[in-house]
Structure formats: C-alpha cells, structure tokens
C-alpha cells in the first residue's frame, strides 16, 4: 500500500467530518496522526463573516480513540483567522474537540461510559490517564449537555 492509499485509509478510519490525515507515525504502542480541516476558511463568531485570512497557526495534540489497539494521538492545527470586517482575530471551531482540551469529545465519551461499570481510578488506570483528567472529562461533558438545545 503506498503512502496516498494509507492516508486515505487513515482518513476514512478516523471518520471525522471535513478532516483529512496528512501524515502519520507508528510509534510502537501509539499512532500519531497529523490532521487538517479540509476547509480553507472559518466563520467569525462576532459578525458571521467568512474569513480565509490565516493570522496564526497553533499546533496541538489530542488523545483520540484507539486504532488497532494502539493509543491514537491527533496532531492538529487550530488556525487563527483575522476577520476582514471586524478586524479581530479568532480561532476556528473544531467540532470534534473542545477549546483547550487535550482529548477528542468521542474519547471523553468513551472514557465516561466506562464509569458505569467501574470507578474513576480504575477507568483512569485502564486508559493511561489521570484521575483528575477523568473528572475533568466528566465535568466537560456535563456542561456541554447543559448548554445543548433540545
């Protein structure tokens, strides 16, 4: 399988809307996927204007669901755009990861579902994360559910 076929396969396996895999590293028990949004623009949250003017790049890492029993980490760029109308910078919204989070929403949901049959400490240990991170995920998802319209 050549590199382009592997990228397409990983993009399909990742199953994130409007996101493609650009590069990957197999690091033993961990896979690192460098991803990017397919869209070249973002909408200003202040005025609703669409911007294509990238102001800055901010690279982050986030834990995601396992692939082939390997921990998966997403390396992603949360681009900062500059609005031409209101002249202010803003960060793009990524619907699969909360702002300032080091895990995807689906990974948080996966971890929290495990609490139905276990406790915080064991869930944290089984996922290679801290008790505090499990508590943080629980709080994040609770708040997210409170603000979602029915």
Domain boundaries, the chain: 1-96, 103-150
* Intervals of the chain under pLDDT 50: none
Handedness of CA 11, 102, 142, 119 (dihedral sign): positive
User: What is the token pair recorded at 72?
Assistant: 């998966």
67 three-class SS: strand
Tokens, residue 61: 């890492």
pLDDT value of residue 148: 63
Q: What pLDDT was estimated at residue 147?
A: 73
Strands (E), the chain: 19-27, 30-37, 42-43, 50-51, 54-56, 59-67, 70-77, 80-82, 89-91
Residue 150: what pLDDT?
55
75-110 in b/e form (b: 16+ CB < 10 A) is bbbbbebbbeeeeeebbbebebbbeebebbbebbeb
Write out 99-125 in H/E/C secondary structure.
CCCCECHHHHHHHHHHHHCCCHHHHHH
- Whole-prediction pTM value? 0.87
């Amino acid at each position: 399988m050549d590199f382009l076929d592997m990228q397409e396969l990983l993009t399909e396996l990742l199953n994130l809307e409007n996101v493609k895999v650009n590069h990957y590293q197999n690091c033993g028990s961990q896979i690192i996927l460098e991803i990017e949004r397919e869209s070249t623009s973002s909408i200003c949250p202040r005025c609703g204007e669409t911007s294509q003017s990238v102001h800055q790049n901010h690279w982050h890492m986030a834990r995601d669901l396992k692939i082939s029993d390997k921990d998966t980490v997403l390396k992603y760029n949360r681009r900062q755009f500059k609005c031409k109308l209101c002249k202010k910078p803003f960060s793009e919204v990524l619907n699969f990861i909360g702002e300032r989070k080091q895990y995807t929403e689906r990974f948080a949901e996966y971890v929290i579902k495990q609490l139905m049959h276990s406790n915080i400490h064991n869930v944290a240990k089984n996922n290679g994360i801290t008790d505090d991170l499990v508590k943080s995920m629980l709080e994040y998802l609770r708040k997210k559910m409170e603000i979602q319209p029915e």
